[in-house]
Amino acid sequence: MNIVVLVKQVPDTWAERRLRDDDKTLDRESGDAVINEIDEYAVEEALRLQEKHGGEVTVLSMGPPRAIETIRKALAMGVDKAVHLTDDALHGSCAPQTSLALAAVLGTLEYDLVICGSEAVDARVSAMGALLAERLGVPQLTGARKVEVDGTTVRIERQTENGYDVVEAATPAVISVVEKINDPRYPSFKGIMAAKKKPLRTLSVADAGIDPAQVGLAGATSEVVEFTARPPREAGRVVRDEGDGGVKLADYLASQKII
Amino acid sequence: MAEVLVLVEHAAGAAKKVTFELLTAARRLGEPSAVILGAPGTAGAITDRLAEYGAAKIYLGESDDIDGYLVAPKAEALAALVADRQPAAVLVAASAEGKEIAGRLAVKTGSGFVADAVDIDSEGTATQSVFGGATIVWSRVTKGTPIFTVRPNSVAAKPEPAAGAVEEVSVQVSAAAKGARVIERVVEDKGSRPDLTEASIVVSGGRGMGGPENFSLVEALADSLGAAVGASRAATDAGWYPHQNQVGQTGVTVSPQLYVAVGISGAIQHRAGMQTSKTIVAVNKDPEAPIFELADFGVVGDLFQVVPQLTEEIVKRKA
Ligand SMILES: Cc1cc2nc3c(=O)[nH]c(=O)nc-3n(C[C@H](O)[C@H](O)[C@H](O)COP(=O)(O)OP(=O)(O)OC[C@H]3O[C@@H](n4cnc5c(N)ncnc54)[C@H](O)[C@@H]3O)c2cc1C
Ligand SMILES: Nc1ncnc2c1ncn2[C@@H]1O[C@H](COP(=O)(O)O)[C@@H](O)[C@H]1O
């Protein structure tokens, strides 16, 4: 069974994140960047499925040149090979455009499953799995907290607000995973060394057969008009509990007409 | 007036609160038409309240295939309506499913979408709260039919009665949209508490709870307020509380009238899920805990003292 796992490089949430003043896109150059955390769970799930069912795992990432660090992390965890879609023409792509570009590359790869994360922490669109399923015309198995494969049948538990749905489809299919699904492994020293020698294909927009007019800021389907830092919340009142902390809190809630 | 489609979020035969918020926001952009998609018999009691909140029309598309397969049939049915009605905009709740429906609809109709808007003005400019709430962004769709997903509890629902004329639409689900079959829907100990994203009050517990057994304190407080229960990742990771109750960057985003943080430090990833709450109160024994920077009212103290006293006090005052 061949799996393509999608990973995205995102600004570290611990660091200060900002939009660029010039074109109002996310600043992906300054500041620390890390693998989107849920994507580690996607990689882990791909590797576990490979351990059970064989085949090859390929990591695919679209992002600026530095996204190679994120690809290396997936390779160090055990992924076999990598494809990096990188081109200045992709800068500022919106979610539908990103799905178009990723789908174009996926169209050239052999896969039974595409596995991605449920949400990227930078833009929090939380729809890439659905967008890709739509573009590729394959079943959407998203929000998975458990995945089971039996031949060409894939069954997932899709996490819902108050439980889960059991959903089934035939391969090829797109899966997105939530954090609950597994505990990602740490790359071993051996894995990190091996990652450097694994096959990596770097594709430009032209290499992938993507029409440059269909991607990037100029043709994006939505735009940021303006942005500003949120004004800090007005400092509230903090009291020390002197045996009446609960009562004081109740007084406050009453003063706000909440109780 | 331009027609604006609003996809009705419903469960167990009732429209969810967010639907009325969507209708309220849609009225700024034009004349709302509610779209009900579901199994036969879904419409039932829903339609009256949709009219009450401004639905001039109600499109009713009922088919077993809607519930029988994941997401794709709803996106397809909505796309058919968009092609037919040429609406000025489409509004969908920013729930996990709503975001996916909106995304697929955008691809189908060659449109753009704004994810997780907390407000929309009459020009179609949406407000988003990004980077853990640290930055406010105004954005708009520049291609096709503007599609918005709107965060529950962000827009205050206001009634404004309209005709609510029901129009049945036939739903033909293509083979392609029947790829992912729903075998079973399992509800795990839902109890009687409101849904986390819809609740107007959320009480969350964190690592300070010390163990799963103590979450009964948080639950008792929640029940005294009619609130939903949330948890920090430290608590869900430890298995103290179900993962689906996790609030934050990798959990759900809530925006209630009141958020009560109990034994939660207030890490940036937690804030990402609760920063837009209207009022925030916190109980924490560490006066330096970052949660106090956000709190409108904070109590520095032992939660095992403060929380039971608070619960008792609320019960007493409500009696
Ligand atoms: C990529 C990523 C994503 C993440 N996503 C999320 C997310 O979605 N949601 C989330 O919550 N976290 C998330 N986190 C984790 C986050 O960084 C914090 O680790 C987590 O929120 C801490 O939870 P906590 O506040 O319960 O625990 P702690 O930070 O350990 O805080 C516990 C607090 O309880 C107080 N306390 C202890 N005992 C008592 C007592 N008896 N009485 C009163 N107070 C007491 C302590 O003073 C302390 O402030 C994420 C982290 C990463 C790296
Ligand atoms: N540029 C990208 N390159 C590779 N994978 C991506 C990219 N953007 C999003 N993804 C995948 O899609 C998932 C959901 O992202 P999103 O829908 O943008 O929140 C992420 O967890 C990734 O697995």
Any alpha helices (H) in chain A, and if so which ranges?
A: 37-53, 68-77, 95-106, 128-136, 189-195, 245-255
- Ligand 1 centroid, distance to B99 Cα (angstroms): 27
Query: Does B292 contact A at CB distance below 8 Å?
Result: yes
Question: Can you give the pLDDT at residue B219?
Answer: 97
Kind and range of the H or E run holding B75: helix B72-85
pTM over 0.90: yes
B280 to A237, B22, B118, B204, B298: CA distances (angstroms): 11, 24, 18, 11, 9
DSSP 8-state code for residue B271: H
CB B7 within 8 A of CB B35: yes
A9 lines ligand 2 (CB under 6 A): no
User: How large is the average pLDDT for residues A121-125?
Assistant: 87
Ligand nearest to the CA of B215: 1
Look at residue A210 and give its three-state secondary structure.
coil
Q: Please, what's the largest Cα pairwise distance for chain A?
A: 69
Question: Can you give the pLDDT at residue A29?
Answer: 84
Please judge whether B296 and A233 are an interchain contact, meaning their C-beta atoms are less than 8 angstroms apart. yes
Average pLDDT by stretches of 10, chain B with 319 residues: 96 93 98 97 89 98 96 98 98 97 98 97 96 91 98 96 96 96 88 90 98 98 97 97 93 95 96 94 98 96 98 95
Question: Can you give the pLDDT at residue B190?
Answer: 63
Which among A39, A126, A152, A248 is the top mutation candidate for probing chain B, defined by the most B β-carbons within 10 Å of its own β-carbon? A126
Counted residue by residue, chain A has a size of 259
d(CA B41, CA B64): 10
pLDDT in tens, B36-60: 999 998 888 899 999 999 999 999 9
CB A61 within 8 A of CB A85: yes
CB A237 within 8 A of CB B242: no
Question: Can you give the pLDDT at residue B120?
Answer: 98
d(CA B301, CA B262): 10
Question: Can you give the pLDDT at residue B132?
Answer: 83
pLDDT in tens, A45-65: 999 999 999 999 999 999 999
Query: Does A183 contact B at CB distance below 8 Å?
Result: no
Q: CB-based burial of residue A256 (10 Å sphere; 0-12 exposed, 13-18 middle, 19+ buried)? A: middle
CB A100 within 8 A of CB A135: yes
How distant is the Cα of B3 from the closest Cα of chain A, in angstroms?
21
Look at residue A229 and give its three-state secondary structure.
strand
Question: Can you give the pLDDT at residue B168?
Answer: 96
The residues facing A155 across adjacent strands are A148, A168
Residue B206 half-sphere exposure, CB side, CA atoms within 13 Å? 22
CB B288 within 8 A of CB B233: no
Residue for token digits 């009634």?
Answer: B159
- The first and second tokens of residue B293, run together, are 């920077």
CB A111 within 8 A of CB A4: yes
pLDDT in tens, B210-257: 999 999 999 999 999 999 999 999 999 999 999 999 999 889 999 999
Interface confidence, given as ipTM, is 0.94
Residue B263 half-sphere exposure, CB side, CA atoms within 13 Å? 23
A96 lines ligand 2 (CB under 6 A): no
A85 to A66, A111, A206: CA distances (angstroms): 12, 17, 10
d(CA A55, CA A51): 9
At residue A207, φ and ψ (nearest 5 deg) are: -55, -40
Cα B216–B218–B224 angle (5° rounding)?
Answer: 100
CB A249 within 8 A of CB B310: yes
Please judge whether A127 and B103 are an interchain contact, meaning their C-beta atoms are less than 8 angstroms apart. yes
Q: Which of B269, B300, B304 to mutate to test the pocket of ligand 1 (most atoms within 8 A of CB)?
A: B269
Query: Does A257 contact B at CB distance below 8 Å?
Result: no
User: How large is the average pLDDT for residues A57-80?
Assistant: 98
How distant is the Cα of A220 from the closest Cα of chain B, in angstroms?
8
Q: How many Cβ atoms from other residues are within 10 Å of residue B283's Cβ?
A: 31
